[in-house]
Amino acid sequence: MLRTIAAAAVAAPAALAVAQVQVDPALPTYRPVSGVSGSLKSVGSDTLNNLMTLWAETFNGFYPNVSIEIEGKGSSTAPPALIEGQSQFGPMSRAMKSSEVDAFEARYGYKPTPLRVAVDALAVFVHKDNPIESLSLDQVAEIFSVEGPRTMTWGDLGLTGEWANKPISLYGRNSASGTYGYFKKVALGNADYKPTVKEQPGSSSVVQGVATDKFAIGYSGIGYKTADVRAVPLAFETGDEAFPAVADYAYSGDYPLARFLYVYINHRPGSTLDPLRREFIRMIYSRQGQEVTIKDGYFPVSAGIAREDLTNIGERAGF
């Protein structure tokens, strides 16, 4: 994942590698076309729920008669909805598991198509007053997984004063969440979570929990960051340089929990997409669509990524 993001960033313009996040100027301005009508339904990721809603609002600005329904209860709900034909879009904060791909292919005879629609720096949040400077993934695993001590204090991580004897309060997502699965795989090395993790139904609940619990720590997509929490810089290993959860280090792969966010679709290879789905996807990969990505706190994809993914669904990018 990190290597893929880093490789994609090589082809991206300098605009994507500076602190001020900007949309790739090579992306086209979206212009509406005729013949677009009907209804769309998106079922899947909570991490992408706000972004899908903002994209829907942008799309309705071009096509006010199109009806769009967004449901975000977790990435694991996306594959069944696509398989059963209950949705046109399946947003996921992780790649589909092989078992999910196999179930789709068993129904349709071909695999589901992933679209890389944004880049996220999955953040480890602490209360805004917490002075912890950085953490390694080894320390994160020690904090959240059963392989670490049953209980830990902030003093175990080097904090002193009022923090030293305070137990670390843990917040996380529930098992329906793609973020739960991604964090478990990449940050915890597939170890189980401690039973003391307070599982939350959504990313905003995790952030709210950390914001109101001074001695808490939790994880969610960077797009849910508020002024009451702070994203801790992370290092791959103890002793390595730690990098903040910002765009340039997500693109370079230096930030350890950088990931693509996906929208999966049912597209038979060689077939032509219907105008409604085609135009929604083109809007996502436009300047307006990726400006919305930035507005929601995530990082935009490059024109190269957009071009590749449009080509994969048989669409000529034209840029």
Range of the domain at 115: 2-119+260-312
Whether residue 112 lies inside any domain: the answer is yes
pLDDT, residue 1, reads 47
Number of domains present in the structure of the chain:
2
Whether residue 249 lies inside any domain: the answer is no
CA-closest candidate to residue 91, choices 37, 121, 32, 48 = 48
pTM (predicted TM-score): 0.90
pLDDT, residue 318, reads 87
116: β partners? 262
| DSSP assignment of 200-222 | ESSHHHHHHHHHH-TTEEEEE-G
Within 10 Å of residue 63's Cβ, how many Cβ atoms? 18
* CA 156 to mean position of chain CA atoms: 30
Whether residue 264 lies inside any domain: the answer is yes
Q: Are residues 140 and 58 part of one domain?
A: no
Whether residue 251 lies inside any domain: the answer is no
pLDDT, residue 107, reads 98
Q: Are residues 89 and 6 part of one domain?
A: yes
pLDDT, residue 26, reads 97
pLDDT, residue 111, reads 98
Instruction: Give me the half-sphere count of Cα atoms (radius 13 Å) on the Cβ side of residue 131.
Output: 8
Whether residue 255 lies inside any domain: the answer is no
Residue at a domain's end among 213, 244, 275:
244
CA distance 91 to 55: 12
CATH number at residue 24: 3.40.190.10
CA distance 178 to 152: 26
pLDDT along the chain (319 residues), means of 10: 49 43 96 97 97 98 98 96 98 97 98 98 98 98 97 97 98 94 96 97 96 98 96 97 96 96 97 97 98 96 96 92
pLDDT, residue 4, reads 53
pLDDT, residue 9, reads 45
Whether residue 252 lies inside any domain: the answer is no
Q: Are residues 167 and 95 part of one domain?
A: no
The one-letter amino acid code at 280 reads F
Q: Are residues 235 and 133 part of one domain?
A: yes
What is the DSSP code (8-state) at residue 162?
A: G
Residues 305, 113, 174: CA angle, nearest 5 degrees: 95
| Alpha-carbon separation of residue 90 from 60, 67, 115, 193, 303 (angstroms) | 19, 17, 10, 26, 22
CA-closest candidate to residue 21, choices 223, 254, 213 = 223
With beta carbons less than 8 A apart as the criterion, state whether 16 and 59 touch. Answer: no
